[in-house]
Chains A and B, each alone.
Chain A
């Protein structure tokens, strides 16, 4: 796809990185972002921040689990079908094993008080990590008034009870605004 693909990423590395992401992400979806940033952007440079965001945007409006969608994208980018297969298998495998084990002895483990205490602390940490990711994104990626307006509007549309807009429509709307804005800039540019 791009010139950065010349040095091939090993399938094993793709698999293990996504296995770590699957094994240590609590809460799914967006909670994965800090781990993804760490494993795929900062540590290895497999994808850029922008690409990661694009994958998330696409994951919002395509069917299926966002974690799997993102894994498929990253794997496909570097090693095509086999790469996508390895990353997807990697991100799914830990859940599969853990849930099968827990389902077999479900109540006995989940009822232990200190397991619940630990999980409660973990939930707080997950929130903190996502907020840090948001702060980083806002600092690095959002430029200009229109950027701030779009991100605040997206936040409010999804969060406020009297809107409760589905993220799918937010994504589609934002894409349309981007296209229209591009056309306007182009037109005013050619006139000037």
Chain B
């Protein structure tokens, strides 16, 4: 099958069935790697590292990267890689775009229904819990090393210090209104300084 059609077919499927965000696309990509020569397990690992350390939604990053590699390895030119990356990305986005357009319409219609409002009153606290869980999964491997042999190895000291410092700074009245980007830039600078002096 033509590579473009293959990408459209496969990424429409991923976009339609991978519910719950970025990392949920991973099992689907592994299945792709088994099926096609243009994607390997090595590339997927590299892709996850790349996606996590570059801005943007993970799912989009991974689709763009897989699409690019497919075109690049098949046609041997970066320009073709961009066209296949575009194909994969648009295919990934389209199903959720359509689904949300429909959901938004339906919700708008039932906005004043009691059942819908009650459902959302139960949902909001649960979502707060889910977001806390996401924070935990981001923070846990950074601050603690669960494979460590002893107690002192268990705590990643530089990370804990930076974490504590940022928690305090971001909650100071003076800085509370600053754009999140300021703190991200600050942390990047601190990351470079710590990396070059103490080492992470």
Partner-B contacts on A (CB < 8 A)? 1-2, 22-35, 38, 50, 53-54, 56-69, 72-73, 76-77, 81, 84-85, 88, 91-92, 94-96, 98-100, 102-104, 106, 110, 113-114, 116-134, 137-138, 141-142, 146-148, 150-156, 158-159, 166-168, 170-171, 173-179, 181-183, 186
Cβ-defined partner of B57 (8 Å) among A1, A62, A65, A102: A65
B149 at the binding interface (Cβ < 8 Å):
no
- Interface readout for B39-63 with A: 1 if CB under 8 Å, 0 if not? 0000000100111111111111100
B137 within 8 A of A: yes
Cα A183 to Cα B114 in complex, Å, equals 9
Task: Evaluate contact between B56 and A25: CB separation under 8 angstroms.
Answer: yes
Given the interface pairs A95-B57, A96-B89, A124-B187, the reply to whether A114 lies near B82 with Cβ below 8 Å is: no
A31 vs B56: C-alpha distance when bound (angstroms): 10
10 A-B pairs within 8 Å (CB atoms) are namely A57-B123, A88-B97, A95-B54, A98-B54, A113-B195, A121-B162, A122-B187, A129-B184, A148-B125, A178-B119
Whether A154 and B19, one on each chain, are in contact in the complex, defined by CB atoms closer than 8 angstroms, is no
Whether B152 sits at the interface, judged by CB under 8 Å, is no
A170, B191: Cβ atoms closer than 8 Å: no
A63-B19, A76-B104 known; A53-B127 Cβ under 8 A: yes
Also in contact, A150 and B129, with CB within 8 A (given A60-B20, A131-B139): yes
Bound Cα distance A34, B99 (Å): 25
Q: In the assembled complex, which residues on chain B have CB atoms less than 8 Å from the CB atom of A64?
A: 15-16, 18-19, 59, 92-93, 95-97, 99-100
A28 touches B59 (CB 8 A): yes
As a 0/1 sequence over residues 128 to 170 of chain B, the CB contacts with chain A under 8 angstroms (1 = contact) are 1111111111110010000000000000000100110011001
**Do residues B57 and A66 form an inter-chain contact, with CB atoms below 8 A?**
yes
Contact in complex: B97, A72 (CB < 8 Å): yes
Convert B187-200 into 0s and 1s, putting 1 for each residue whose CB lies closer than 8 angstroms to a CB of A.
11111101110001
Residues on A with beta carbons closer than 8 Å to the beta carbon of B192: 114, 117-118, 121
**CB distance B120 to A54 under 8 Å?**
yes
- Known A28-B56, A129-B180, A141-B124; contact A69-B191, beta-carbon cutoff 8 A: no
- Knowing A58-B103, A129-B180, A130-B131 are in contact, say whether A121-B124 is a contact too (CB < 8 A): no
Which chain A residue shows the least CB distance to B60?
A95
Q: Which residues of B contact A (CB under 8 A)?
A: 15-22, 46, 49-61, 64-65, 68-69, 72, 78, 81-82, 85-86, 89, 92-93, 95-97, 99-101, 103-104, 107-108, 111, 114-115, 117-139, 142, 159, 162-163, 166-167, 170-171, 179-181, 183-184, 186-192, 194-196, 200
Q: Which residues of B contact A168 (CB under 8 A)?
A: 19-20
Q: Within 8 Å CB of A116, what residues of B?
A: 53, 195
In the assembly, what is the distance between CA of A57 and CA of B167, in Å?
Answer: 26
B84 nearest CB across to chain A (Å): 10
Known: A125-B183, A129-B180. A182 touches B114 (CB 8 A): yes
Given A26-B55, A154-B126; A65-B97 close (CB under 8 Å): no
CB distance from B161 to the nearest CB of A (A): 10
Interface centre among A30, A121, A171 (most CB of B within 10 A): A121
Q: How far is the CB of A126 from chain B (nearest CB, A)?
A: 6
Complex-state Cα separation, A120 to B99, whole angstroms: 36
Does B118 lie within 8 Å of A167, measured CB to CB? no
Cβ–Cβ < 8 Å partners of A179 in chain B? 115, 118-119, 122
